[in-house]
Chain A
Amino acid sequence: MAALNLAGLIAAAADMIAAHAEELTALDQAIGDGDHGLNMKRGFEAVRAEAEAFSAKPLPEALKAIGTKLVMTVGGASGPLFGTLFLAIGKEISPHPDRASLTAAFGKAIEAVAARGKSQVGQKTMLDVLQPVHDALARGKTAAEIADIADAAAKATVPMKALRGRASFLGDRSIGHMDAGARSTALLVRTVGQAIGESA
């Protein structure tokens, strides 16, 4: 991979979240506490505000700093979960990652997110997008293919019954709605894939 334009990626991610904030909030209103879009937007705008400082750091340190910023600014349970994802990738990834390094770091990060949320695949959470994305990365899929896999995985949370988070209180009534965290994860996967695709 060529050098990643991290500042550009941050701006693209913040734009993507901002453009879908209302949709994410609507999804969260159906089965959660209705603030996911607003929370994610606040967090990614806070990251955007310091994009220059983050992108001046080596990639592992930049990702850890972004994770910490998300933890502190997203709020709700999404803050620690998305923050942990970035923190854990930052801890594991090499400064100039190839696909193998990215895949390995991503795998470790999924374990960290699962531990943080005391959750696992199949419980209607962001993990249901992260795991298929990891598998697609490992199988050598292109960025565009991976983005489509992430979208399909988010859609696949619709018929699931929520077993973690606020939606789990609804029991069977959580069935029939897409998980908001799965959707925002798929949006971020598409953004990152586009940025990496351009630099590959």
Chain B
Amino acid sequence: MSNVGIVIVSHSPLVAEGTADMVRQMVGDEVPLAWCGGNGHGGLGTNVEAIMSAIDKAWSEAGVAILVDLGGAETNSEMAVEMIGEPRAQKIIVCNAPIVEGAVMAATEASGGASLREVVATAHELSPS
């Protein structure tokens, strides 16, 4: 699949899974999609290893857009992108957008074959700043 992939990273596995569920129902199976949430020990949180494997799962040569909830999800996602390393890191962008709306809008844009830049721009339009 050459559509941009979407990764959803929340502190809560329920939020991440629920958001992914919304994306699937509203956008269908046209985009590679993966989610992760929780600290891996049953609590709220995010962890770099899980984010790296979600990126692997949603990987597309067109790139991957990551949607995050709170600060730690962003910091951990940026670390995961750095640890994945070049050349793939160049094709992964952590979006500054609300997680649910951003994921749905980014996936909708991606499902039409848009570029990573276009997908991320669509998500960023939702950002309050």
Contacts and interface: CB of A to CB of B under 8 A. Distances in A.
B75 interface: yes
Q: Interface size for chain B: under 10, 10 to 19, 20 to 34, or 35 or more residues?
A: 10 to 19
A77 B71 CA distance: 8
A167 to B, nearest CB: 10
B50 to A, nearest CB: 10
A73 B70 CA distance: 19
A90 interface: no
Contact of A35 (B43, B48, B78): B43
Contacts of A33: 44-45
Contacts of A164: 71
B121 interface: no
A71 B48 contact: yes
Contacts of A157: none
Contacts of A181: none
A24 B17 CA distance: 31
A81 B44 CA distance: 18
A75 B47 contact: yes
B71 A72 contact: no
Query: Interface residues of A toward B: which range?
Result: 20 to 34
Contacts, number: 51
A79 interface: yes
B21 interface: no
Contacts of B79: 71, 79-80, 83-84, 116
A84 B48 CA distance: 13
A116 B75 contact: yes
Nearest to B72: A77
A165 interface: yes
A76 interface: yes
Interface in A32-84: 33, 35, 39, 42, 68, 71-72, 75-77, 79-81, 83-84
A35 B83 contact: no
